[in-house]
Amino acid sequence: MADFGLIEAGGTKFVLGIADETRTIHARHQIPTTTPAETLGTAVAWFRDQGLIPEAIGIASFGPLDLNRASPTWGQITRTPKPHWTGADLIAPFTKAFACPVALDTDVNGAALSEYRWGAGVGHQSLLYLTIGTGIGGGFVSAGGHGGTLLHGLSHPEMGHIRIARHPQDQNYPGFCPFHGDCLEGLVAGPAVKGRWDASLSDLPTDHPAHAIIAWYIGQAICTFQAIMEPARIVLGGGVMHAPGLIEMVRESAVSWGGGYFTGDPAGIIVPPALGDNAGLLGALALVLDEEG
Ligand code: ZN
């Protein structure tokens, strides 16, 4: 059976894995994210040490990424504030080392595809995956292709950067997005919570107003995404969503913002991720299986 090299590339760590198309993960390993040369070199060395002769390699990465195959910078990380990584080529080190195809997309698109095929989306025609953590990103899968097709434009969607109305009790915080200030990510991602209340949502008491304010924003964003895509399932992942009780408050907020208009009742379609610890690697596997066709 063919083996695939899998990489979940995050801003603080890379998770490496080897799996086959039955989703059995034969080995996994974690390395810190330092510089591109060191981190990607260590990943190549680990795959070699495992004796891997990969059929293909799948990478689900933090972004933003250039995913336009006609572009001279295809496969590179673009305009990231993370030091050393702007312009890093994620593909070349692996094609050079293993002479095999490399599939690349964002971590959130990988998660969307794996949840659609094997998790919360099973039995449904479309799925939106939103991750709300250090940043905010979204991936949308609709029926078609070999098991769902990811939405792409010139590159991957940037759903975290939509404009959003300010909460009446949250008028002063400027937002932390270096490009837009108080876009959705600038107001709701982990650093925005810490920036206002000096703690993560999980560490604040459940009756702290921060929970209601953050849920109000996420519900509003979901209303916007429902208007554009009407997803059959909306999966909410990421560290901020670990706050106890938050998903229930988001459901209520989305119901209120939607006014009963959309197909798909937020109270029923907003769900947590169904895939556990292997979700990141399974995202990379979903991407690589697509590449294989
Ligand atoms: Zn922004």
Query: Distance from the CA of 166 to the center of ligand 1, in angstroms?
Result: 14
CA atoms within 13 A on the CB side of 24: 6
Backbone angles phi, psi at 23, to 5 degrees: 75, 15
Could you give the strand order of the β-sheet that contains 25-32, starting from the edge strand earlier in sequence?
25-32, 13-19, 4-9, 56-61, 102-106
pLDDT in tens, 216-261: 999 999 999 999 999 999 999 999 999 999 999 999 999 999 999 9
Query: Distance from the CA of 45 to the center of ligand 1, in angstroms?
Result: 36
The answer for residues whose C-beta is within 8 angstroms of residue 34's C-beta and 6 or more apart is none
Is the fold of 4-107+279-292 the same as that of 120-272? Answer: yes
pLDDT in tens, 123-165: 999 999 999 999 999 999 999 877 899 999 988 999 999 999 9
CA distance 47 to 43: 6
CA distance 267 to 252: 7
- Contact in structure between 284 and 6 (CB atoms under 8 Å): yes
**What pLDDT score does 293 carry?**
67
Query: Distance from the CA of 47 to the center of ligand 1, in angstroms?
Result: 36
Structural tokens at position 278: 């292997």
Query: Distance from the CA of 135 to the center of ligand 1, in angstroms?
Result: 10
Query: Distance from the CA of 183 to the center of ligand 1, in angstroms?
Result: 5
**What pLDDT score does 85 carry?**
96
SS3 content of the chain, % helix, strand, coil (to 5): 35, 20, 40
CA 107 to chain centre: 4
Average pLDDT, rounded, for the chain: 95
Quote the crossing angle between the two packed helices 107-118 and 279-292, to the nearest 10°.
Answer: 90
Name the residue among 108, 106, 116, 178 with its Cα closest to residue 146. 116
Res. 81 pLDDT band, cuts 50 70 90: confident
Query: Distance from the CA of 249 to the center of ligand 1, in angstroms?
Result: 24
**Could you state, in order of their start, the residue ranges of all structural domains in the chain?**
4-107+279-292, 120-272
Query: Distance from the CA of 187 to the center of ligand 1, in angstroms?
Result: 9
Query: Distance from the CA of 277 to the center of ligand 1, in angstroms?
Result: 29
Query: Distance from the CA of 42 to the center of ligand 1, in angstroms?
Result: 32
pLDDT in tens, 175-186: 999 999 999 999
CA distance 171 to 173: 6
Q: Fold for domain 120-272?
A: Nucleotidyltransferase; domain 5 (3.30.420)
Q: What is the mean pLDDT of residues 71-79?
A: 94
CA distance 171 to 129: 28
Tell me which CATH code domain 4-107+279-292 carries. 3.30.420.40
CA distance 71 to 214: 38
CA distance 254 to 231: 13
